[in-house]
Chain A
């Protein structure tokens, strides 16, 4: 199994005033291709800092981080931007779609920052990605005309469009009701089944049952790292939920 993420003794310190805050105090783990990992931890556990590092938005104070074989630690801002553009797909809690913009334009966005993709190719891939998240009939709906679940699907399509080695989801179901959460989770499981590597950061312990591996952070340390060979099916859970009355 090819390693997508390799963390070796990652430390990240922040200087706040005269004090130094140790957000991460030596984190090491490896995530291989095709894993669906939940990273959990309470607020203040270093989870957001780890997410920023994994997403190449930040660089560690010490330690080595290899993303798909590339060492991120010494990279400059622009190189990291390019790395994010090519290798990472982000899914945020609040969707972060461009307002008053159609689904297809939102999905095309990462490819606009990649000059090797032609306009035609861009459209084709955007449609393909929207197809993969089940929104092929909503291509030209504007972001403000869609429900939260649909918006998050567009955001996932946007994360898929550059064919990343890693999908990084930050509380991706945090803004959704239970039913929609499980719909999105089902989508993630489908993507996982198709071989995508997914890192799902959450504070909700219930969700760990639906991933293949759980990493728990506490006070900047990894306190638990367990594989979950019997992954629960989000689809089954979804079907067992009571139907919404208005549907």
Chain B
């Protein structure tokens, strides 16, 4: 008995019962298609989160003042004055794992140009901020160290500001906008970044030298936030530790005292978001796996019925020379053909469904090749596993009894 003949026999047997074969397959088709679609959705959201975090700067570290208590009342972080110029200088000069560092102070209000105005925030930063937050310029230039030293009245604006103030299509570079009473000259425009994961418009901002904001807007000497970037994503943790020990030293905190600052990195955010989406992926895969299992049981059920129904045929095959293993192979191949064909259709359907989800619901999807191979392998194993018992039963039939079975 060779394999080609066994396949021919199994194909003919399936061909005789097309409707039943298809209905049996349906369980597998739905199972595989859902596995692939679910994993594609899971992978897609994971990837889009990852891409957006990278856009914000995956090696970014944020330092906020914090944990300052006065008489038991916790104050809002921005009102605390623990982050000073000294801290910034220490971080810039005394760290090994920090590549760039920028202070940040912000003020919000209406920005005015001619007859137009728009509510926004102005951030006082230094030139490193561009690198840390992955901003680039589409026009003009960034302010310089000189501008910072001079508290120059210059700014760089985001696209949203340009769109709302320069409604007649003027070139914004060189124009002067007012922020409250203070005029700022636009020297550059940021390349648009769009919305981030949290739905914030990343182009709705004005950047100015931090000294300008500190002296001319807020009349303060501390910083609200310090942004840093680690030399690479992998060194984020070391950089955080370095910064923490520097700040503790600068702030003269004793060993038992709490930090009076908060350090947060994008990595924490990305870990959190990844774990959320990973859990979703696992849950989705479980649901899909269960449907594959149900599909497998469907195969076993039908194969079992089929063996009983075809007892006489099995008896005949045995009496004309089929060995037990030929019968076993025949029914096993039938089960595998059902599951593999179902798997194949399921893969196509799953890819199609992923595409539809992407096109209709605009969810990010990504069909991972391993999910295709995995579900296909699971299918084949399902076929063998659930086909084995009925096939074994068929091969153990006694030809004498089987041929007289009514």
Contact = CB atoms under 8 A, between A and B. Distances in A.
Contacts of B312: 96
Given A81-B321, A85-B321, A101-B16, A113 B316 contact: no
Contact of A57 (B5, B313, B326, B399): B399
Interface residues of A, number: 27
Interface in A75-119: 77-78, 81-82, 84-86, 90, 92, 96, 98-101, 105, 109-110, 112-115
Contact of A78 (B9, B320, B323, B400): B323
B317 interface: yes
A228 to B, nearest CB: 28
With a 10 A CB-CB cut-off, give which of A85, A112, A158, A162 has the most chain B CB atoms. A112
Contact of A100 (B16, B319, B326): B16
Given A55-B319, A82-B321, A98 B313 contact: yes
Nearest to B8: A112
26 contacts: A55-B319, A57-B319, A57-B399, A78-B323, A81-B321, A82-B321, A84-B320, A85-B320, A96-B312, A96-B315, A96-B316, A96-B403, A98-B16, A101-B16, A105-B12, A109-B317, A109-B320, A110-B320, A110-B321, A112-B8, A113-B5, A113-B323, A113-B326, A115-B1, A158-B320, A162-B321
Interface in A207-247: none
Nearest to A117: B5
B9 A112 contact: yes
B322 interface: yes
A92 B16 contact: no
Interface in B117-174: none
B403 A113 contact: no
B93 interface: no
Contacts of A114: 1, 321
Interface residues of B, number: 24
With a 10 A CB-CB cut-off, give which of B319, B321, B324, B400 has the most chain A CB atoms. B321
B5 A78 contact: no
B322 A58 contact: no
A77 B321 CA distance: 10
Contacts of A109: 317, 320
Interface of B is mostly: helix
A71 interface: no
Contact of B2 (A52, A77, A90, A115): A115
B324 A78 contact: yes
B323 A82 contact: yes
Nearest to B326: A113
Nearest to B322: A113
B405 to A, nearest CB: 11
Interface string B301-323: 00000000000110111111111
A114 B320 CA distance: 10
Given A84-B321, A85-B320, 10 more contacts: A82-B323, A84-B319, A85-B321, A96-B316, A98-B313, A101-B16, A109-B317, A113-B326, A158-B320, A162-B321
Nearest to A77: B324
Contact of A81 (B8, B316, B318): B318
Contacts of B315: 96
Nearest to A159: B320
